Amino acid sequence: MADTSQVKALIYDVFGTCVDWRSGVAREVAAVARAKGVELDPLAFAVAWRDNYQPSMETVRSGKRPWTILDVLHRETLVGLLPKYGFAGKLSEAEIDDLNRAWHRLDPWPDTVPGLTRLKRKYIIAPHSNGNFALLLDMAKRAGIPWDCILGSETVKNYKPVPQSYLEAVRLLGLEPGNVMMVAAHNRDLRAAQAQGLRTGFVPRTYEHGPGQKTDLAPDGDWDVIARDHEDMAAQMGT
Amino acid sequence: MADTSQVKALIYDVFGTCVDWRSGVAREVAAVARAKGVELDPLAFAVAWRDNYQPSMETVRSGKRPWTILDVLHRETLVGLLPKYGFAGKLSEAEIDDLNRAWHRLDPWPDTVPGLTRLKRKYIIAPHSNGNFALLLDMAKRAGIPWDCILGSETVKNYKPVPQSYLEAVRLLGLEPGNVMMVAAHNRDLRAAQAQGLRTGFVPRTYEHGPGQKTDLAPDGDWDVIARDHEDMAAQMGT
């Protein structure tokens, strides 16, 4: 394990790393489908929704459209998917808004709250997700994730992995990059953080995309800490 | 008491309302003075430092200078005060930086943490202070103030009482103004929040400026809740 004695804050990827978006979104899609008499595979719907996550943010990162929060991008993707899954004309605007907020109501993995509760005793802990402020806050309130503050895309007005996203988070914390560890289940996120001088912690989530997952099954970079889960991370970080 | 049934989040003024800046700053000034062999009245130093608080922010609010965080404004005021109090040439840049962070290390009033801990069970609670992000975060970590997130001037890039400061905080929370209560010991802050449609809660701090305080001794507006302290606020808000 690398020297992490200068780390004062741990900032976290959230979707996949801390919460199970696939099951959580599917659960809410299934409930709405049942209420509306629609038959579908809710897990496939969740994955299709998530499949447009990176493309939708890329329109902002590339400068093609001005700053737009994830709730808006999620809703646009949702509106595009509804007719393909048999929901054409079946949901009111308010019902679409509510289903869109399924992303505010995702459940943490079993190790997330116990691990982060331990880490919070010694470190600043904060989500640094591409989710917007209210999404991350609502999720934490519902699930009991004990963040010290909310970072993330809306606070820094950039989507990861844009370099400025990491540097602005570090600056807000009043720290130097070497004092901050990015924790993620995604190698790409860690690679971008490491390039800006942050420490890195990998926590695998090999079922994030379901049983056939092909990406991020193992660490593929020189990360400072590699942990089995958030409780193992807490132990390795001395808490 | 007004109808506060729609309130979902309480956002707080911090200096004076939640923490005792006068005693906290004086304690640190006294320690530095002792170490450097300087004789002074540390409470007078603290009040003089605070006296330039509004004027320094006004240079930003008025547009005379670009967005500048409170740590920078505080440090400029400090550098101006040091020679007047016998510190000329006695502090290194690092020592000035450290004394400037006295504002990150203020103690809460006795009712703050117990009251906010109760309120957090039912409401989102967040500081909405003119302090910068790291100042509010460091203070909360040290003092155990259980905020759900950090709002405040740096998050919204405006100093209260600029109207946009309140509206941007409400927007980040994903709420409407009527869902958010501004809590402060200062009538001016509440007046500005109320003008933007927020609910208002007054908590008096009649010794914030010391025994001769002349301002904000009593509520002078039609505030939704008037509480003796944060524990009384928790009781009145049903927690």
CATH of the domain at B152: 3.40.50.1000
Q: Which domain holds residue B186?
A: 9-20+107-236
Q: Does residue B58 sit in the same domain as residue B91?
A: yes
Q: Does residue B126 sit in the same domain as residue B115?
A: yes
Picking from A134, A149, A175, the nearest residue to B150 by CB comes out as A149
Q: In the prediction, which pLDDT does A2 show? A: 77
* Residue pLDDT, tens place only, B167-213: 999 999 999 999 999 999 999 999 999 999 999 999 999 999 999 99
Q: Looking at the domain assignment, is residue A168 inside a domain?
A: yes
Q: CB–CB of A137 and B148 under 8 A?
A: yes
Q: Does residue A231 sit in the same domain as residue A117?
A: yes
Confidence band for B3, pLDDT divided at 50, 70 and 90? confident
Min distance B70 CA to chain A CA atoms (Å): 12
Q: Does residue A16 sit in the same domain as residue A30?
A: no
Residue B2 predicted with pLDDT over 90: no
Confidence band for A85, pLDDT divided at 50, 70 and 90? very high
* pTM > 0.95: yes or no: yes
Q: Looking at the domain assignment, is residue B3 inside a domain?
A: no
* Mean pLDDT of the region B98-112: 98
Q: Looking at the domain assignment, is residue B125 inside a domain?
A: yes
Residue B1 predicted with pLDDT over 70: no
Residue of B nearest to A170 (CA): B134
Neighbouring C-beta atoms of residue B164, cutoff 10 Å: 13
Q: Does residue A76 sit in the same domain as residue A31?
A: yes
Give the mean pLDDT of chain B: 97
Q: Does residue A14 sit in the same domain as residue A132?
A: yes
Q: Where are the alpha helices (DSSP H) in A52-162?
A: 53-61, 70-81, 93-100, 112-120, 133-143, 153-156
Q: Does residue B158 sit in the same domain as residue B61?
A: no
Q: Looking at the domain assignment, is residue B152 inside a domain?
A: yes
> Which residue has 């005060």 as its token pair?
B81
Give the mean pLDDT of chain A: 97
Q: Looking at the domain assignment, is residue A74 inside a domain?
A: yes
Between strands B199-202 and B225-226, the pairing is parallel
CA pair distance B88, B107, nearest whole angstrom: 28
Q: Does residue A57 sit in the same domain as residue A115?
A: no
In chain B, how many domains are there?
Answer: 2
Q: In the prediction, which pLDDT does A3 show? A: 84
Helix axis angle for B70-81 and B133-143, nearest 10°, is 90
Q: Looking at the domain assignment, is residue A3 inside a domain?
A: no
Min distance A155 CA to chain B CA atoms (Å): 7
Q: Does residue B145 sit in the same domain as residue B71?
A: no
Candidates B149, B151, B156, B173: best to mutate against A (most CBs of A within 10 A) is B149
Q: What is the layout of strands, in order, in the sheet containing A225-226? A: A124-127, A9-12, A180-184, A199-202, A225-226
Q: Looking at the domain assignment, is residue A120 inside a domain?
A: yes
Last residue in a domain, options A104, A132, A162: A104
- Cα three-residue angle A181-A185-A191, rounded to 5 degrees: 60
CATH of the domain at A43: 1.10.150.240
Residue A1 predicted with pLDDT over 70: no
* Mean pLDDT of the region A138-155: 98
* Residue pLDDT, tens place only, A179-209: 999 999 999 999 999 999 999 999 999 999 9
Q: Does residue B206 sit in the same domain as residue B93?
A: no
Last residue in a domain, options B104, B136, B171: B104
Picking from A132, A133, A149, the nearest residue to B137 by CB comes out as A149
* Residue pLDDT, tens place only, B56-104: 999 999 999 999 999 999 999 999 999 999 999 999 999 999 999 999 9
Q: Does residue A214 sit in the same domain as residue A171?
A: yes
Q: CB–CB of B137 and A147 under 8 A?
A: no
Q: Does residue B29 sit in the same domain as residue B94?
A: yes
Name the phi and psi angles at B217, rounded to 5: -75, -20
SS3 B125: strand
Residue of B nearest to A101 (CA): B174
Residue B112 predicted with pLDDT over 90: yes
CA pair distance A150, B152, nearest whole angstrom: 12
CA pair distance B165, A78, nearest whole angstrom: 32
Residue of B nearest to A104 (CA): B174
The closest of B41, B47, B60, B85 to B208, measured between CA atoms, is B47
Q: In the prediction, which pLDDT does B45 show? A: 98
Q: CB–CB of B172 and A133 under 8 A?
A: yes
Picking from A124, A132, A135, the nearest residue to B141 by CB comes out as A124
Q: Looking at the domain assignment, is residue A219 inside a domain?
A: yes
Residues 6+ apart with CB under 8 A from A135: A70, A71, A103, A104, B174
Last residue in a domain, options A52, A73, A104: A104
